[in-house]
Amino acid sequence: MNQPETDTRNVHGARCTWWDAISESKTGAHGLPGCPHCGGVLYEVATEAQWWEAIDRHDKHEPGYRALMEWARGNCYPNFDTLKRAYALYKKLEKDPDIKELLNGGVEGAEEIAFRMKKMTSR
Ligand SMILES: [Zn+2]
């Protein structure tokens, strides 16, 4: 279910790592916004700016957290450890110029790679 564009809420998974603008969510259980991938329930903050304020606060204690969360946008992983492993793998893979080209080669290529990485990292 797409919300009107005036809806500034930013949402994140309660049981997965997905986060994005509420307009990217899908209607889940009981008609509430859910993760578009796993359907999981979401928590919300009022605005994306508020979301980044919290991320930046955390980044002071855990440098690199913001970069991780920028990468995590739109990615549903079952838990934070898996997200971190997928991100680490992405950082390794993007050092290869051919793979980097694929990674940056558009949504289709990125989705395929993300899907494969998820399979690899969730074993
Ligand atoms: Zn999810």
- In this predicted model, what pLDDT tens digit does every residue of 67-121 receive, in sequence order? 999 999 999 999 999 999 989 988 888 788 777 776 665 556 666 667 666 666 6
> In this structure, are 15 and 63 located in the same domain?
yes
Compute the distance from residue 111 Cα to the ligand 1 centre, in Å.
15
| Count of structural domains within the chain | 2
Say yes or no to pLDDT of 123 above 60. Answer: no
User: Is residue 74 domain-shared with residue 86, that is, in the same domain?
Assistant: no
Taking alpha carbons only, the member of 38, 39, 41, 49 closest to residue 10 is 49
Encode burial over 80-110: b for 16+ CB neighbours within 10 A, e otherwise.
eebbbbbbebbeeeeeeeeeeeebeeeeeee
Question: How many C-beta neighbours within 10 Å does residue 33 have?
Answer: 21
Around ion ligand 1, which residues have CB less than 5 A away? 13, 16, 18, 35, 37-38, 40, 76
Long-range contacts of 78-82 (CB under 8 A, 24+ apart): 78/15, 78/16, 78/17, 78/38, 78/122, 79/16, 79/17, 80/17, 82/17, 82/118, 82/121, 82/122
pLDDT at residue number 16: 95
51 in the same domain as 15: yes
Range of the structural domain that residue 30 is part of:
1-78
Sequence length of the chain is 123
User: What predicted TM-score, i.e. pTM, was given to this entire model?
Assistant: 0.75
